[in-house]
Structure 1
Amino acid sequence: MAKRIVRDPEKTRAQILNASFMEIYSRGFNGVGVRELAAKADVTIGAFFHYFPTKSHVGYAIVDEIIHTGILDRWIKPLNAYKNPIQGILKCFKNTFDNWPDEYVALGCPLNNLTQEMSGSDELFKQKTRAVLEDWIAKTREHLKRAQQGGYLRKNVNTQELAEYIVTFQEGTFAMGKALNDRRIFDSMYNSLKQHLEALT
């Protein structure tokens, strides 16, 4: 009697999604095809299309489920542990770039990469990447307001503008590392951010 193969749909979908993320991050969305993504995930083309009707759909899922979640895990959730959110923002920045793998320095930020590559040709990509950025800014602002309430940030500081500055600075640091392919820029950027934020306390 043949052994029955039990498939785990959630595991298979996650396998496709994670493998596709790494391929697209390394080579760009337009630099890889569905056959290559399926092969990297070790699934058939049919299995790929069962979970993702098009390559664009796996891209949308990457933005929603991997990139957005990763940003919240890296930049926002850790701030809850800090009585002074300004210290938390600086600590998250330093930890992120101190621990960023050398092989990823020249790849930059996956959100920024997809925004630049796809927002001009795919309206849904544009909407999704914009939504991630807007949420990132909004949640950063919530912690800045908390900093003001706790007396760690001057009352006259515009928290919306500062949140936009911080997120832009975080993204810009990835971009500088990518452009220069040199992680030494991370220390320089950290020192600049630290000086700026401490001047507002």
Structure 2
Amino acid sequence: MTGYLFVPRRNGFPMSRPPNPEVRFRLLSAGYDVVLDQGFHGCGVQNITAAASVPKGSFYNYFESKEAFATEILDAYWQNIEDRYTPFLRDAETAPLERIAYFFRAISDDHAVTDFRHGCLIGNLALELSSASEKTRVRLKSILGRWEEYLATCLREAQKRGDLAKKRDVKQLASIIIEAYEGAVMRCKVERTRRACDQFEKVALPLLLA
């Protein structure tokens, strides 16, 4: 079953359209599950192609390398987060600080579907590949920057409403919120409960936004 937080797109990936886009779609979808289950370094191309029911040699018809594959599943993973969860941050009917709480709660609810067994792909690959792959590190940095900007936009709105002190550095605050949440997800992955994410929502986030 494809990871709950991952909905690969059949079109729109950075590489040119391959001879059989359905095969590429299967490699991304099945390979995503393999990377979450086994870790990037814990699985090989053989594991990915076997899960997708594709000959091993076909992998390199669609991806230049396993590293290139990692950046593509990262892009699809983040795009899915933007599509599904950033509407919470743009909901003009809800106070900005409440939107941020709803955003993180929704993501935590999806992690809970698998009892937090998989964690966050962004955090997972940051731990595994930031030192080993410059290409992946740069892609992760870009994704984190986009995430920060979504939160910072909400925080600026909160400042305009008087819900957040104008002296607060919203870019810095957004960064700290993400770091705190990623740490909570990692702890949930270890404990296989949502205790740390609940603690983030009920204790850490209110303190950061006070």
Q: 2:90 aligns with which of 77, 80, 99?
A: 80
1:13 is aligned to 2:24: yes
RMSD of aligned alpha carbons: 2.1
Give 1:69's aligned residue: 79
Give 1:33's aligned residue: 44
Mean Cα deviation higher: 109-118 or 80-89: 80-89
SS at match of 1:103: coil
Residues 105 and 183 in structure 1, CA contact (< 8 A), matched pair in contact too: yes
Closer, same or farther in 2 for the Cα pair 1:141/1:177, shift >3 Å? same
User: Percent of counterpart pairs with the same letter?
Assistant: 27
Q: Deviations over 1:25-76 (max 9, x none)?
A: 1111111111111111122223322111221121111112x22213323553
Unpaired runs of at least 5, structure 2: 1-17
Give 2:172's aligned residue: 161
Residues 75 and 92 in structure 1, CA contact (< 8 A), matched pair in contact too: yes
Unpaired runs of at least 5, structure 1: 1-6
Measure, in 1, the Cα distance between the counterparts of 2:81 and 2:193: 22
The amino acid that maps onto 1:114 is L
Measure, in 2, the Cα distance between the counterparts of 1:192 and 1:70: 27
1:96 is aligned to 2:107: yes
Give 2:187's aligned residue: 176
Give the structure with the higher percent helix.
1
Deviation at 1:196, TM superposition (A): 1.6
Deviation at 1:149, TM superposition (A): 2.1
Q: TM-score, normalised by structure 2?
A: 0.81
Residues 74 and 96 in structure 1, CA contact (< 8 A), matched pair in contact too: no
SS at match of 2:114: helix
Q: TM-score, normalised by structure 1?
A: 0.85
The amino acid that maps onto 2:104 is F
1:46 is aligned to 2:67: no
Residues 185 and 196 in structure 2, CA contact (< 8 A), matched pair in contact too: no
Measure, in 2, the Cα distance between the counterparts of 1:71 and 1:53: 25
Measure, in 1, the Cα distance between the counterparts of 2:144 and 2:70: 16
Deviation at 1:181, TM superposition (A): 2.6
1:127 is aligned to 2:138: yes
Measure, in 2, the Cα distance between the counterparts of 1:10 and 1:181: 36
Deviation at 1:123, TM superposition (A): 1.1
Q: Which has the larger radius of gyration?
A: 1
SS at match of 2:122: helix
Mean Cα deviation higher: 120-129 or 190-199: 190-199
Number of equivalent positions: 192
Measure, in 1, the Cα distance between the counterparts of 2:37 and 2:166: 43
Measure, in 2, the Cα distance between the counterparts of 1:102 and 1:87: 23
